[in-house]
Amino acid sequence: MGQQWVAFIRAINGSPHNRVRMADLAAMLADVGCHGVTWHLQTGNMLFAADAPAEELAATIQERLEATGMRNADVLLRTPADLAALVARTPFAGLDGDAWQFEATFLRRPAADPDLSELVDGHGVQVRHQDDGVVCFAFPRGGRMDGGFNGWIERRWKVPATSRAWNVVEDVAAKAASLG
């Protein structure tokens, strides 16, 4: 059956260029060798099994998406175990959900110089977890940045990234665990 994967695909149904029904996106993934494809919400949170190594699989999916005219649809793969470990860290424990919004920004690859001081100092953001693959942020409710956190990271770190609300990450992790 292959390795179980979660793909967070950047820019799906968030811009006029990358509108796609999830059933059609699932069919595209099946066409490149993914099995048991399902999804969470309509924003490119895909779950499936595949036999190819992670980088090869991500590149193949991304090429298929680009061949259909999708733009900036970077594919960020994680295993269900990766997501379970991230959720188990409870990065937002102790913060008031009425006052703060919680988000995870997934990175395609490690950043060469992952400096977040400008973000923290200039925008009132709390970095609650950071490693080579993800940054978990808390920011004052109602506060946003032009281009979002993934846009900020992409511009400064030169790394493809995509952000998800923390409750979505928790829901995807739970769904991935139930499929395993």
pLDDT tens, the chain, 180 aa long: 789 999 998 877 666 777 778 898 899 999 999 999 999 988 789 999 999 999 999 999 999 989 988 888 889 999 999 999 999 999 999 999 999 999 999 999 998 888 888 777 777 788 899 999 999 989 888 776 555 777 888 888 899 999 999 999 999 999 999 987
Residue 126: how many CA atoms within 13 Å on its side-chain side? 15
SS3 content of the chain, % helix, strand, coil (to 5): 35, 25, 35
Which residues pair with residue 3 across a beta bridge? 50
| Domains of the chain (ranges, CATH numbers) | 3-78 (3.30.70.1280), 88-165 (3.30.70)
Residues in the chain: 180
